[in-house]
Amino acid sequence: VEQEENEYIINEFDGMHSADISTVMEGLSAEDCKYILELLNPSVGADVISEIEDDTRNNFLTLFTPQELSKYMDNTDSDDAADILNDMPVKVREEVLASMNNNEKVQYIIDLLHYEEDCAGGLMAKELVKANINWNVSQCIEEVRRQGQNVDKIYTVYVVDDHDILLGRISMKKLLIANDLTKVADLYEPEIAKVYSYLDEEEVADIMQHYDLEVIPVINVQGRLLGRITIDDVVDVITEQAEKDQQAMSGLSEDVEETDSLIAMARARLPWLIVGMSGGLLGANFLGGFEEELSRIPAMAFFIPLITATGGNVGIQSSTIVVQSLASGGFQGSAMNRYLRVLVIAILNGLTLAALVYGFNMIFSDNHQLAIVVSFALFSVIMIASFMGTITPLVLSKFGINPALASGPFITTCNDLIGLGVYFMVAKALLH
Amino acid sequence: VEQEENEYIINEFDGMHSADISTVMEGLSAEDCKYILELLNPSVGADVISEIEDDTRNNFLTLFTPQELSKYMDNTDSDDAADILNDMPVKVREEVLASMNNNEKVQYIIDLLHYEEDCAGGLMAKELVKANINWNVSQCIEEVRRQGQNVDKIYTVYVVDDHDILLGRISMKKLLIANDLTKVADLYEPEIAKVYSYLDEEEVADIMQHYDLEVIPVINVQGRLLGRITIDDVVDVITEQAEKDQQAMSGLSEDVEETDSLIAMARARLPWLIVGMSGGLLGANFLGGFEEELSRIPAMAFFIPLITATGGNVGIQSSTIVVQSLASGGFQGSAMNRYLRVLVIAILNGLTLAALVYGFNMIFSDNHQLAIVVSFALFSVIMIASFMGTITPLVLSKFGINPALASGPFITTCNDLIGLGVYFMVAKALLH
C-alpha cells in the first residue's frame, strides 16, 4: 500500500469477496483503509464497509467527508446503513443523508434510525419484495423484477393487502412453477411466523432458531409490514450473546477484545477484580476473629483453600446448568421439583467428596477431630453452594439481568465467604 | 391425552407448526408421544420427529416397529433421517431402510451414514436442485418443478457439468426474471463459496458466518457436488459450541441438561470437583510445611482466600479474552506483542490492587511487615496468573483441545496452588 501501486491492489482485490477484503483491511491503518476503499467500486466498497469490524470502521470513516460517505450509503442495505450512521455524530449523519441520491434508501434509513439497536426494528432491513393479494403471478414477477434491483437476496415474496397489512408469503419456488395468470390469493401461504418491531433481539433469535427460518417479516402493532430480518444478522446476535455470557462468567465488565487499547483492557478487568479483592479482605477480617483458634490449631488454615475452591466450583456448575436451561426454553416441571433435584445431586456429590477427604485425612494425618470438621464443613458448603448457584441465576433473570453473571466472580466471592463462615462455625461447634 | 380424545387432539394440533408440537411432546411420556404421532399425518409427523430433542426422540422411537418408522423416514430430509438412524441399533436401522418406499431417499441416507456427525458431510442434506451447464432456462425451471417436490426450501440452483463437478449457481431471482431460452452458461455465477465434505463443522460455521450465507454446497475432493448445508443446522452448531464452552468453563464434564437423570447430573459434576478437591488437598499438604510460620504469625492465614481468589479471577479473565480472540479469527500481531500487552495490563492491574490492599492493611492493621508481604505476593500472583491464563488456551488449542477448558476449574486449581506457593515463599523471604 505504501508504494501506492494502484494497479496491483485493484488486481489483487478484484474477484475477492468483500468479507475477505474487510478482513485484510482490519490489519491496516485508517489511512490505508481509506486509500484502498477509494480504489474499489462504490458497491463493493459499500459491502466492505458493512462487513468490517465496528472499531476499524469508526476509525477510518472519520477520514471521509459526508459527501464521500453518501456514495457508499447509497449502495448499502438499509439495516447496515442505519447501524453505521448510528455510530456517527448527528451532524455528520444528517449531512450524509442529505447528500445521498437514492431517495427511497434515505427514507428507509430514517425509518430505521428510530429503533433501538437491540430490538427487532433495529435488526430489520427495509429492502424486501411484496405483492398485493389482488395481483396475479405475472404482476408478481414484474414486481420481483422491479424491486429485485434493490434486494440482494429475495428469499420470499410477502403478500399484503391494500393497507400494507401482512397476510402471508409466496415462496420463489411456487412463483417459478405457477401459471402466469394464477391469482396471488390462490397461491400464498397465510400462516407465517412474524415478529413485532419492539421484540427483543434475543427473542427474535429464539423464534428463528425454533422454526428454522432464514428470514422473518417484522410488523407494527397494526400488523403492517415494516421490514424483514435475515438469518445472518441473527447469527451475529447469537454469537454476541454467547460472548457476553462468557465475559459475564469470567468477570470482564465490558465488551472487550484482545486488540483493544491497553487502558480499555485494564479497565474492563478491574471492577470484578476489586469485587473479588474486597471479598478477600472481608474474609481476612472474618478470619481475624478466629485468630485464637488458628494459633491453637494452625492445621485449620491448611484446609481453607480446599473449602473455598470446592464451594466456588460447585456454585459455578449449578448456576451454569440453570443458565443453560433458561436459555434453551426452561426447565419443565415445578420449582419444587427443581429444588428437590438440586438437593439430591448436592447430597450425592457432597457425600462422595466428604468421604474422600475424610479417607485422605485418616490416612495422612492423625488429627481425627479436624478430619471430621473438614468433611462436615465440606458437605455443608457443597449443599449451600448448590442452592445459591441454583437460585441466583433465577433471581437475576427475574429482574432482567443476564443470568450468566451468576457464574461469575461475584458469586464465587460470596461462596468463598459463606464457605469460610461455615468452616469456622463448624470448627467452633465441634472443637469446643 | 389420557382420555384419548382423538378429535380434540387432532383439532388442537391442526395448523400448529411442527416445531411447536415437538415442544409440547417434550413434556409427555414416550407412550403419549407415540399416540399423538400416530394421529398426525406422516409428513407432519416426520417434521416433528426431526425437530424434537434427541433424548425424547430416542425414548419413544423404540416403541415403533421398523415398518412404522420407515413411513416417517420416507418424509424426512436426508440429513435429519441419517442423524436419527445413526442413533439406532444397526439391525433396526437396516430394517427401516429396507421397508422404505422412497428409493432415492434410501440411497441419500445410505450415502450420508458414512460421514462423521461433526464434519461437513455429516451436516449436509442430499436434497438440492441442480442444473446442467448446457441447459437453457426453461429446462432449468422444468427441473426445479421436478426436483422441487423433494426439496423444502430451494435457496439456489447449483450448476454442474456432465460429471457432476460443481461449476457455480443461479439464484431463483435470476431464473424468475430471465428469458426462457437464455443459456444456463450465460446466467450462472461461477464464483461461489463451497466446502469439502471432510471439513470440521465449526469451520463450516465460520465460513457461512463470514460470508453471510444461508446455504453452502458440499463437494468431494474431485469437486463433485455431494449435497448442501443449510444455515439452520449451522445455527445449531454455533449454539452447541457456545454451550460446550460454557460447560468447559464451569467444570461440567459431559453434555448435560437440567432435565437429565440425577445420576447423569451428579456424574457430570464429579470429575472436576475431584480435581479441584485434589488441588485443595495438595494445598493443605503444602501449607503443612509452613505450620511453624503459621503458628508464629496466624494473621498470615487471613489472606489466603484473598490471594487464591484474585489469582483465580485474573487467570479466568486472561484466558477468556484469548479464547474469544481464538474463536473470532485470532489476534493480529506477533506473539511477542501479545505477551508484552498482557505484561503491561498485568502490571497496571497488579499495581492498582496491590496498592489498594496495602492501603487497607495500613489503615486497619498494625503489622506493616505483613502488609508488605501480602501486597508483594498479590502483585506476583497477578503477574503469574495473567501469564498462565494467556498461555494455557494457546497451548490447548495447539493440541486440538477446546481452549475454553483454560477458563475452567483445572486452571483455577493450578492458580490456587501457585498463588499459595508465591505467598508463602514471599513471606519466608521477607519475614526471616
pLDDT tens readout for residues A152-205:
788 889 999 999 999 999 988 888 888 888 999 999 999 889 999 999 998 999
Residues of B in contact with A239 (CB under 8 A): 209, 238, 242
Per-residue pLDDT at A376:
92
**Cell 477446546, located at residue:** B402
Q: Residue B287 is nearest to which of A208, A302, A412, comparing CB atoms?
A: A302
Residues 6 or more apart in contact with residue B430 via CB below 8 angstroms: B369, B372, B373, B376
- Whether A322 contacts A394, CB under 8 Å: yes
Inter-CA distances, B151 with B101, B158, B367, Å: 17, 13, 77
CB contact under 8 A, A214 and B214: yes
Residues of B in contact with A304 (CB under 8 A): 301, 304-305
Please work out, in degrees rounded to the nearest 5, the angle formed at the alpha carbon of residue A284 by the alpha carbons of A280 and A288: 170
Grid coordinates given for B283 = 494445598
Select from A29, A169, A173, A386 the residue whose CB has the most chain B CBs within 10 Å, as the one to mutate to test that interface. A173
Q: Residue B316 is nearest to which of A26, A251, A323, comparing CB atoms?
A: A251
Residues 6 or more apart in contact with residue A307 via CB below 8 angstroms: A374, A377, A378, A381, A419, A420, A422, A423, B280
Closest CA to A358 of A346, A343, A369: A369
In angstroms, what separates the C-alpha of B431 from chain A's closest C-alpha?
18
Select from B250, B254, B367, B390 the residue whose CB has the most chain A CBs within 10 Å, as the one to mutate to test that interface. B250
Q: Is residue A351's pLDDT more than 90?
A: yes
Question: Taking the mean position of all CA atoms in its chain, how far away is CA A289?
Answer: 44
Give the count of Cβ contacts less than 8 A between chain A and B: 351
Closest CA to B345 of B377, B376, B322, B362: B322
Per-residue pLDDT at B415:
87
Q: Alpha-carbon distance B49 to B176, whole Å?
A: 34
- Helices B42-51 and B66-73: angle between axes, nearest 10 degrees: 90
CB contact under 8 A, A280 and B341: no
Section A3-30 average pLDDT: 77
* Helix, coil or strand: residue B310: helix
Read off the DSSP letter of residue B189: B
Closest CA to A157 of A171, A173, A136, A141: A171
Strands A195-196, A129-132: pairing is: unpaired
Does residue A336 or residue B182 have the better pLDDT? B182
Q: Residue B269 is nearest to which of A274, A324, A349, comparing CB atoms?
A: A349
pLDDT band at A330 (very low <50, low <70, confident <90, very high): low
Section A13-37 average pLDDT: 83
CB contact under 8 A, B238 and A235: yes
Per-residue pLDDT at B330:
61
Q: Alpha-carbon distance B325 to B321, whole Å?
A: 6
Per-residue pLDDT at A339:
84
CB contact under 8 A, B305 and A348: no
Q: Mean pLDDT, chain A, as a whole number?
A: 87
**Cell 433424548, located at residue:** B55
Per-residue pLDDT at B432:
67
Per-residue pLDDT at A363:
85
Q: Residue A269 is nearest to which of B155, B211, B349, comparing CB atoms?
A: B349
Residues of B in contact with A242 (CB under 8 A): 238-239, 242, 245
Per-residue pLDDT at A356:
92
Q: Which residue of chain A comes nearest to B309, CA vs CA?
A: A276
Residues of B in contact with A236 (CB under 8 A): 209
Q: Is residue A250's pLDDT more than 60?
A: yes
Per-residue pLDDT at A29:
82
DSSP per-residue string spanning A92-115: HHHHHHHH-S-HHHHHHHHHHHTS
Residues of A in contact with B272 (CB under 8 A): 313, 317
Q: Is residue A309's pLDDT more than 70?
A: yes
Q: Per-residue pLDDT tens, chain B, 432 aa: give them.
A: 555 667 777 777 777 888 888 888 877 888 888 888 888 888 888 888 888 888 788 888 888 899 889 989 998 989 999 999 988 889 999 999 999 988 889 999 999 998 988 899 999 999 899 999 999 999 988 888 888 777 778 888 999 999 999 999 998 888 888 888 899 999 999 988 999 999 999 899 999 988 889 999 999 999 999 999 999 899 989 988 888 888 888 888 777 777 778 888 888 888 888 888 898 899 988 988 888 888 888 888 899 999 999 998 898 888 888 888 887 766 666 777 888 888 888 899 999 999 999 998 888 777 888 889 999 999 999 999 999 989 988 888 888 888 888 778 888 888 889 999 999 988 888 876
Per-residue pLDDT at A293:
82
Ordered by where they begin, the domains of chain A are: 6-118 (1.25.60.10), 129-235 (3.10.580.10), 258-431 (1.10.357.20)
CB contact under 8 A, A246 and B321: no
In angstroms, what separates the C-alpha of A355 from chain B's closest C-alpha?
12
Q: Alpha-carbon distance A227 to A220, whole Å?
A: 10
Half-sphere exposure of B165 (CA within 13 A, CB side): 8
In angstroms, what separates the C-alpha of A113 from chain B's closest C-alpha?
23
Per-residue pLDDT at A40:
84
In angstroms, what separates the C-alpha of B263 from chain A's closest C-alpha?
8
Question: Taking the mean position of all CA atoms in its chain, how far away is CA B292?
Answer: 50
Per-residue pLDDT at A242:
87
CB-CB neighbours of A71 under 10 Å: 17
Per-residue pLDDT at B201:
92
Q: Where are the alpha helices (DSSP H) in B257-334?
A: 262-288, 291-296, 299-302, 304-327
Q: Alpha-carbon distance B250 to B227, whole Å?
A: 37
List, for residues A106-128, the tens digit of each pLDDT value: 999 999 998 988 899 999 999 89
Read off the DSSP letter of residue A223: -
